[in-house]
Amino acid sequence: MNLGALCVLAQRPQDAINHLSDAIIAPKLSAGALHALGQAYYQLGQHKKASHYLVQSLQAVDTSLSMSSEENQELLSTYERIIAALDATTEESLARINERFIGLLSGKDWKRRIPQTRRHLEETMRGEGEAGVVDLLVAASSDALAEKVSQIDRYIRQGLYTLAMDECHRAIEDSPYYLPVHVRMAEIMMAEGRLRQAIDKYNMVARSYLVREEHARAASILQEVLDMAPLDISVRMSLIELLENEARWDEVLDQYVGLADTYQKLGNFDQSRETYEAAERLAQRIGAPVEKIVAMRHAMADIDQMRLATRKAQKVYESIVEIMPTDEKALRALVDIYFQQGKQVEAIRRLDQLLGIYAKRKQINRIVQSLEELVKHYPNETGLRSRLARIYSRLGRKREAIEQLDALGELQLEAGLHKDAIQTIRQIIALKPDHVEAYKRLLSELGG
């Protein structure tokens, strides 16, 4: 052990590692050996290994001071979470953290400082998770900083925002790169109604995390900003770029859809449709669920309809039905479009497809409601009248069936469709209307 320590001091870390490897299993030597191994790996620039040994050294000292096996178990859990947090940290941050650990295990009162620091880390972990622990360890004067952050949080809870902001400025003077304080400043700005300043501050924090290559945290901050300011295009573009660099394609797709929706809300319909098209291309490339593709196509068709680009909308709706034949909204839209274009055969074909879906689901009310709405909009369409009369008849709604057949017969006579009119009058007679003789006379006049 002494030889190993001397090797470290003599700047021969690899020799130290060779001598210290056996010492860590000796209970009385374990904490010191782990500390020395951490220093050795630190000197070799292997910061992840160094951090593991240094944390284990802290744990060994801390558990030796514990009062019970339950406390030991809690400490084990705490240090395991710290190690897990460090494993996801960049080498640059680990180097600074290891300096802090080495300092903790050196100098005066080092035994007292270890449990005190661990308590600060536990408190931070409860409030900000493992990532918050990393921030605290990287920051300068972290013990004093932890106290300042606690004071800031107390002021925020009490609604004392001016005092909280003053404390934030004092904390930043000592630790300008401790980002959780900057996040708290943004939260205070939000509470005070300074939305634009808060967004700018959040953006600064997100960019800082990007510089540190902590992309997940940068994305989390940008998402928070979008929740507060969903129409901020620059923030959403930043988030899209970040997610693309991370190849998080499902999330990229969701953000593209959000961006297209934002353009639409801002009245930029050309940009909105182009963005939906880009989103659909991405969806096809990554094999997104068909429901997502359908939703995007519906959004594009809505824009086309709003801009009276009916033929363009028609193509989109047809493409929807091609990949999802049971899409009610697309079928219903096609019925309207084809009737408006005077294409009755196509309209009735799509209508029958829609009614077939309702029939399979035993949604008779939907059939009746759809036909009634269509008859109201297109009263001269014989195909609609005949279908509505048929469903009324099946439901025993005799009077309404006769009304539809009567109107249908008139349309047929006006159009010179005498044979069709004869069949319609026969259907009316079969229903035994109140003035059945009048219908029989009309049938006779038509030669039926």
pLDDT digits (tens, 9 = 90+) for 294-324: 999 999 999 999 999 999 999 999 999 999 9
Same domain, 331 and 385: no
The residue out of 97, 116, 135 marking a domain boundary is 116
The residue out of 289, 323, 352 marking a domain boundary is 352
| Residue 332 domain-assigned (yes or no) | yes
Give Cβ neighbours of residue 437 (< 8 Å, ≥ 6 apart): none
pLDDT of 122 reads 72
| Residue 209 domain-assigned (yes or no) | no
Comparing C-alpha atoms, which of 368, 124, 25, 73 is closest to residue 376?
368
| Residue 172 domain-assigned (yes or no) | no
Same domain, 335 and 420: no
The residue out of 324, 352, 380 marking a domain boundary is 352
d(CA 202, CA 131): 17
- The phi-psi region of residue 71 (left if phi > 0; otherwise alpha if psi is between -120 and 50; otherwise beta) is alpha
pLDDT of 143 reads 60
Could you list the residue range(s) of the whole structural domain that residue 13 is in? 1-116
Same domain, 372 and 287: no
Q: How many C-beta atoms lie closer than 10 Å to residue 119's C-beta?
A: 12
Helices 142-157 and 161-174: crossing angle, nearest 10°?
170
| Residue 135 domain-assigned (yes or no) | no
d(CA 292, CA 301): 14
Pair 172, 149: CB distance under 8 Å: no
Same domain, 305 and 387: no
At CA 115, angle to CA 114 and CA 121, rounded to 5? 90
Comparing C-alpha atoms, which of 257, 268, 259 is closest to residue 292?
257
| Residue 25 domain-assigned (yes or no) | yes
| Residue 278 domain-assigned (yes or no) | yes
What CATH number should be reported for the domain holding residue 319? 1.25.40.10
Please give the tally of structural domains in the chain. 3
Same domain, 399 and 305: no
| Residue 46 domain-assigned (yes or no) | yes
Same domain, 22 and 76: yes
| Residue 311 domain-assigned (yes or no) | yes
Same domain, 107 and 6: yes
Same domain, 63 and 99: yes
Q: How many C-beta atoms lie closer than 10 Å to residue 433's C-beta?
A: 18
Type of residue numbered 91: E
Same domain, 19 and 78: yes
Comparing C-alpha atoms, which of 406, 368, 408, 402 is closest to residue 388?
368
Same domain, 335 and 386: no
pLDDT of 192 reads 92
Same domain, 81 and 3: yes
For 199, phi and psi rounded to 5 degrees? -65, -45
Low-confidence ranges of the chain (pLDDT < 50): 1-4, 6, 9-10
- Give me the helices (H) in 10-90, please: 13-20, 30-43, 47-64, 69-87
pLDDT of 11 reads 62
Same domain, 290 and 344: yes
pLDDT of 4 reads 47
